Amino acid sequence: MTEVTTAKIHWNGGVQDEAINILKEDGGMIVSPTKVGYIIMTSDDKGLERKFAAKNRKRNKPGVVLCGSVEQVKELAQMTPEIEQMYQRHWDEDILLGCILPWKAEAISKVPNDGTKDLMMDQRETSCFVIKFGTPSENIAKDMWGKYSKFSFASSANPSGKGNRGLVAGIGDQIENAADLIIEADDYVASIQPDKTLDTRYEQGVMVSMVDETGQLIPEQNGVVGIQPAPIVIRKGLDVDKIMKIMSDIFSSWDYRHGYYY
């Protein structure tokens, strides 16, 4: 019996149509490059199930929703004007950002009633909405939403607890064999952190919680000091210094608790 090997292609520098063709069909799952390494991308419940199986992953973490525009985040998630401002600043400055936010009720109603909801958000009905995660995958997510009204969900393409070091060779045999397509762009990933080594580079993006412990949106601060609950940096990562500077410009109070959610 001949072993089937997953197709592996180098990123074409634009929109990878081969990836779109896979993800717009039921259950598609690809590996794609971002600013910090490789991710698994899926778009529905069957794809999400495949992702969990490929990673042997726990299901208690919020799902990651890739957004190709600030407008998409606004369409899907509840935000205060201050959070909208934060997303816009990071979009304008091309900084990778992910925030834990509650879904809008009308957006949840658009989710297929096929089990997707249970896999793409946690029990509090929150997800991590990510922007500016890297051109190769951004192009795919933008087309998936804009042309096909399909979500793009993500998870790091490495065995849970192990980084892929920004190299397609680091995703592991299990994920490599499970995917329908692998887009390789080690050169693009390396270009984002040119001054970092394999040991000092960030393998993830910053994650900021904008909800309380029950998943309710934090209140607007309007320049008042000490408003609680406040934003919490729950995972450090690429450009954490730039992100905390922007947070200091917008919010009078915020907390740093790396690893808090997990």
Rounded to an integer, the average pLDDT of 99-105 is 96
How many C-alpha atoms does 150 have within 13 Å on its Cβ side? 23
Closest CA to 215 of 101, 48, 56: 101
Contact 213, 185 (CB under 8 A): no
Average pLDDT, stretch 108-116?
76
Going by C-beta distance under 8 Å and a sequence separation of 6 or more, which residues neighbour residue 124?
102, 211, 214, 215
Q: Taking residues 172-180, report their average pLDDT.
A: 93
pLDDT band at 219 (very low <50, low <70, confident <90, very high): very high
Arithmetic mean of pLDDT, 99-121 = 84
- Rounded to an integer, what distance in angstroms lies between the CA atom of residue 80 and that of residue 193? 32
Q: Name which of 129-143, 194-208, 237-251 the model is least confident about.
A: 194-208
Give me the chain's average pLDDT, please. 91
pLDDT of residue 116: 75
Alpha carbon distance 20, 131 (integer Å):
19
Q: No. of H helices and E strands in the chain? A: 10, 11
Residue 116 C-beta-side C-alpha neighbours within 13 Å: 21
- Which percentage of the chain shows pLDDT scores above 70? 94
List strand residue ranges (DSSP E) for the chain, in order: 7-10, 29-33, 38-42, 64-66, 97-102, 126-131, 153-156, 181-184, 207-209, 232-235, 255-256
Find the farthest-apart pair of alpha carbons in the chain and give their distance in angstroms, rounded: 68
Per-residue model confidence as pLDDT tens digits over 140-151: 999 999 999 999
Is the per-residue pLDDT at 3 higher than 60? Answer: no
Per-residue pLDDT of 151-163, as tens digits, reads 999 998 987 666 6
**Closest among 251, 37, 19 to 159, alpha carbons compared:** 37
> Please, which residues bridge with residue 235 across strands?
207
Provide the whole-model pTM.
Answer: 0.94
